[in-house]
Chain A
């Protein structure tokens, strides 16, 4: 047997040498950036659970054990402890997440509102599409679907809400796909999906009769599983299980790299949890009562506590389904090649006489949302306490894909992912302006500014609560019980100046 290497084999070995330099692949790091020379980009999975308040999650300090599965996920993810939505309901929150801009820029300020035309090409789907990502978009929430519909040309797999619903009586996208959002508005008026009367004098009653029969049949079929009613919203009836199963299938078959945006409705009200979670938190616990806010609708504490309990039980259901997805991803190695982002579009409030999130107030439970990011192969928990905003998600994903942050983007690359240290003092904004015109300066709105340990809130244009400031110290008073606006005048005036400067800037476009 010859012991020396023949010349021909030596040349072959040399030709193979470059392969050895890239094999095995380097360990991924949370901050790994551009992929020069066409190296593999990471998959990105964004899981948005609608109306998920960080205040109701035990690893953020909540008393009830609502999310055992999310806690498991947190143990191998980066947990952002002070993450904020940009608004207090779906439209602004989702639009900011998808565009990396605050509501005053994208102007999706209203329920079922849409972003300005210019953002059709300035969003997560269009930007990552340039890098060859296969883009998947789905939303249970018809309000978020309106936004996805605006970006549909940049989504390779835009799955309609109805495809994952048990019942979906919407006609707009069936009959008028080219004019989706105005058609949805028109349809909502005809079939009374808001708080107004139906514009249809006679046929609405026929429609209602038909839907009640549908619901009765479904209740017969699934009533035992969902004693408080089958999960539904705006006449969409769905099961989260179906959407989670579908997500699993997508993760298995989607071409890589993929960007998947999955927006699930639970725990959005009505809080129709699954049988095993009903009365799980019937523990008699009632949180500290807080005084009614002047802009509240004066819901009594007893009702709020009952709703809070139902909400927590619905969270437990959403968490169980997330757990199923998490186990699937773990089992199938998806966590090893995918950035998994868990977040929400806004929170929910059960205090000060306010129930829900359609409210002018911006207290922490309605704007502070979870953000957990699991990098490919991450095994250990990492905690980030810096204030972050949903506008940061887009620049972060661009950073991971080697794309520079565009100048119009108002977010920053999230700390722990950015190479450089975050600015010590950064302002985080949140805006509620659903009563303000999209075409006019912000005259009726609530805006909050969070900076360092303080939170300044300014109410403008409300009857009997006009031009009022509130300020809270989030470190010493996380429950926002003591308005220190008058007592800490110097801090307040600094924050006020910052806020005014920002508002003058955003209102300038209307001059």
Chain B
């Protein structure tokens, strides 16, 4: 992966030109959809950025439990236990991220594709903050009815719309997010490696 120093490269990267031309040549109807899929580089960077909060939350909660597990299991079993949430985090990050790629392909370019990295990252991180709040107040939230839930849902959606609006119209905010993504992606690579090792451990333990 090239160095993530150039913000413009993240903004304007459009790798799949060859395939695009090929599609144009054959006049396939999917061409407009395909053209709205973000570039591979943007996908990778954004995925890594989205993986980060999911992993941090997972690891934070794992570490709280590890001492208790060590008290009752062998080290190999503890490694096994840790592997399950780690592998799940990998799955979760994919489940959270892929709808954005799909949306990007379906929505007009200006809405998401042009600022895919910043918008997706902004939405995911803001959601992460809201969901952490929900986790912390889980014992209260779990007994809420629809009427109690509704105003918070409205607040959540409003904050998301505001976030998208700010990113769309503030170059500075976009730059800050892109700069953050560039840095965090490197760290997420480590997490990704851990996840892949966890997946391997699961396979070994279950075969």
Q: Which residues of A contact B (CB under 8 A)?
A: 109-110, 113, 176, 178-179, 181-183, 185-187, 189-190, 192, 196-205, 208, 212, 435-439
Contacts and interface: CB of A to CB of B under 8 A. Distances in A.
Nearest to A191: B88
Nearest to B88: A190
Given A186-B85, A189-B65, A196-B65, A202 B80 contact: no
Given A176-B205, A201-B57, A204-B135, 8 more contacts: A179-B206, A190-B85, A197-B136, A201-B92, A202-B92, A202-B95, A202-B131, A203-B92
A440 to B, nearest CB: 8
A192 B138 contact: yes
> Sorted from nearest, which 8 A-B pairs have the closest CB atoms?
A186-B84, A182-B80, A110-B72, A199-B61, A199-B85, A201-B57, A437-B71, A199-B58
A201 B65 contact: no
20 contacts: A179-B205, A179-B206, A183-B84, A186-B84, A186-B88, A190-B85, A190-B88, A196-B61, A196-B65, A197-B135, A199-B62, A199-B89, A201-B131, A201-B132, A202-B54, A202-B96, A203-B88, A203-B95, A203-B96, A212-B142
Interface of B: 53-54, 57-58, 61-62, 64-65, 68-73, 77, 80-85, 88-89, 92, 95-96, 127-128, 131-132, 134-136, 138, 142, 202, 205-207
Contacts of A438: 71-73
Contacts of B61: 189, 196-199
A200 B138 contact: no
Contact of A436 (B71, B127, B128, B205): B71
A205 B206 CA distance: 28
Contacts of A176: 202, 205-206
A196 B206 CA distance: 26
Contacts of A178: 205-207
B80 A197 contact: no
Contact of A201 (B53, B77, B82, B84): B53
Nearest to A211: B142
Nearest to B55: A201
A263 B30 CA distance: 59
Given A178-B206, A179-B205, A199 B70 contact: no
A182 B131 contact: no
A189 B92 CA distance: 14
B54 A201 contact: yes
Contacts of A186: 80-85, 88
Majority-rule SS of B interface residues: helix
Contacts of A204: 135
Nearest to A112: B72
B71 A110 contact: yes
B186 to A, nearest CB: 21
A66 to B, nearest CB: 30
A199 B72 contact: no
Nearest to A110: B72
Q: Which of B53, B71, B85, B96 has the most CB of A within 10 A?
A: B71
Most chain B C-beta atoms within 10 Å of own C-beta, residue among A178, A202, A204: A202
Nearest to B72: A110
B135 A185 contact: no
A179 to B, nearest CB: 5
A200 B71 contact: no
A182 B92 contact: no
A186 B68 CA distance: 13
A200 B58 contact: yes
Contact of A182 (B71, B205, B207): B205
A204 B95 CA distance: 12
B64 A185 contact: no
Contacts of A192: 138
Contacts of A436: 71
Given A178-B206, A189-B85, A205-B131, A199 B73 contact: no
A219 B137 CA distance: 25
Nearest to A187: B84
Contacts of A203: 88, 92, 95-96
B86 to A, nearest CB: 9
B77 A196 contact: no
Nearest to B207: A178
B72 A113 contact: yes
Nearest to B127: A202
A447 to B, nearest CB: 17
A185 to B, nearest CB: 4
Contacts of B85: 186, 189-190, 199-200
